[in-house]
């Protein structure tokens, strides 16, 4: 399992459109085969910057999602709202303390 972190920056007047769409599709993304966890974070200093944080079983599950109709629809809508190029990282979780 690995973690995928995506940073997205939106035009200020497009934030509500992003949030509305995210709330419509979040369960579909979360229930996509191989996805084990999904959260959305908002930057404390810049309310137009968001991060998704998701757990994937393996890289092929993420790649299958990225090639899916669901991703294509979500991304086609979302990328119109950006005010900067998104950034993404795939990382391995080394330690978790509870």
What is the side-by-side order of every strand in the sheet holding 87-91?
Answer: 35-42, 49-56, 2-9, 87-91
Exposed/middle/buried for residue 64 (C-beta within 10 Å: 0-12, 13-18, 19+): middle
pLDDT digits (tens, 9 = 90+) for 57-71: 999 999 999 999 999
Please tell me whether the overall predicted TM-score, pTM, comes out greater than 0.85 for this model: yes
DSSP letter assigned to residue 10: B
Exposed/middle/buried for residue 54 (C-beta within 10 Å: 0-12, 13-18, 19+): buried
Q: If pLDDT is split at 50, 70 and 90, which confidence band does 2 have? A: very high
Torsion on CA atoms 89, 90, 93, 96, rounded to nearest 10: 50
**Domains with residue ranges and CATH for the chain:** 2-92 (3.30.70.100)
């Amino acid at each position: 399992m690995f973690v995928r972190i995506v940073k997205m920056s939106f035009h200020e007047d497009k934030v509500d459109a992003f949030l509305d769409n995210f709330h419509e599709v979040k369960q579909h993304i979360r229930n996509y085969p191989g996805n084990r966890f999904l959260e959305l974070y908002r930057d404390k200093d810049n309310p137009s910057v968001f991060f998704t944080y998701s757990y994937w079983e393996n890289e092929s599950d993420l790649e299958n999602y990225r090639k899916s109709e669901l991703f294509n629809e979500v991304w086609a809508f979302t990328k119109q709202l950006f005010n900067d190029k998104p950034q993404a990282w795939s990382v391995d979780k080394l330690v978790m303390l509870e």
